[in-house]
Amino acid sequence: MKIKVKPEDFVVEEIIDLPISDSGPYTLLKLKKRYWNTLDAIDFVARKFSLSREKFSRAGLKDRYSLSTQYLTFRGDFKEIIKEKNFELMPVGKVSKPILPENLKGNRFSITMRDLSDEEIEKLRRNYTEVSSFGFPNYFDEQRFGSARHRHGFFAKLLMLGHYEGALKLLLCYPYKEDNKRLKIFKKYCAENWGDWDGCIKYTPIEFKRIILFLRENPRDFKDAIKKIDREMLNLYLLAYQSYLFNEVLYRIIKKIGSDTVEIPYSMGKFVFYRSLPNKKLLMDLKIPMLNDKTKLSDFTGEIISEVLKKEGIRLRDFKLSKMRFRKVRFKGFLRSAIILPEDFYIGEECTDEIYKNKRKILLRFILPPGSYATILIKRLMI
């Protein structure tokens, strides 16, 4: 089975709730892209038109390996229609406030699954019936863990423990496969010449330049060097670790409550999926906290969270990051559903795959809530 063979095989469109008018302080923009991540596209436009990136807001992030349509807002007038290779940006109207995650009501997916055998088609249809009845676990998938795909640990965890030099090494020294050539050269030099900030500056890409320039003047002040990282990126690094902890908690809950479970590995650990639920209502109603220093440890979920914290060697108070004194960078606490039932779930008729000889393809359509991963649903359909 294969997905994302080409961007048009993985189509996603944001469903937003934000009233549009002919006037207002913000311009609503539609971004249609492939092979770009959302932040890089915003960065490109800001640099090209000499605009502050702070003027752009977004509701969500979309996978670079998809054909995605999402919405941004710009503070002020934005009249240009931008057509670049693999992305388009155009104004669609005016709004009274910037777009925020709470304006995102869901994502509509249209996914072509390819290279399917007859046995996989049969499995897919059986699992479609099970998922339609019992939903699937709302794990975060691999895309959320880009900053830890080198498998040397989480930046945010080292930050919590006060290991500032180690946190910077994770960021500056360990490459992963999605890094471009220049970034790999820079990280290789940093790893082999840690502390030679004069030498590093020759290879430093723009996103790390402020850090290296600071370290040239303050060679051992790793704590304040971390404050030179873009705030939005820092918040994403924190969210990556929160997401891993959520997965660990949900894994243990499914092991306790699910029936006829199946485990599959992923880069950060294991997912466990169920085929049915003896107590469906319990999990359908269950919300799991994204952890921060204000999280309350109550009922059986609190017991499981305590197990995970003990395994990780951290405490709730560590989430406060009080020694860092960040501005607008923090672990944000909120609740996330344990399981998801896809809406408007449709599976088409299989047909000949024009790319893979003697194999079949099939189309899936569905709507998921914000923050839920279509790739997790695909994994569940193929167990």
List residues with catalytic annotation: 63
CB atoms within 10 A of CB 54: 10
Q: What are the C-alpha distances in Å from 80 to residues 7, 83, 92, 279, 305?
A: 25, 10, 11, 53, 49
- What are the DSSP calls for 47-104, one per residue? HHTT--GGGEEES----SSSEEEEEEEEES-----EEETTEEEEEEEEESS---GGGE
As a whole number of angstroms, the distance between CA 145 and CA 136 comes to 20
State phi, psi for 125 to the nearest 5 degrees: -70, -40
Strand partners, 283: none
Give the CA distances from residue 5 to residues 2, 77, 126, 270, in Å, rounded to whole numbers and listed in that order: 7, 38, 24, 25
Task: Report which DSSP code applies to 276.
Answer: B
Q: Could you give the angle at the alpha carbon of 181 between the alpha carbons of 178 and 182, nearest 5°?
A: 115
For the CA atoms of 11, 17, 22, 25, the dihedral, rounded to the nearest 10 degrees, stands at: -100
Q: Tokens 């409550």 sit at which residue?
A: 257
Backbone angles phi, psi at 319, to 5 degrees: -70, -15
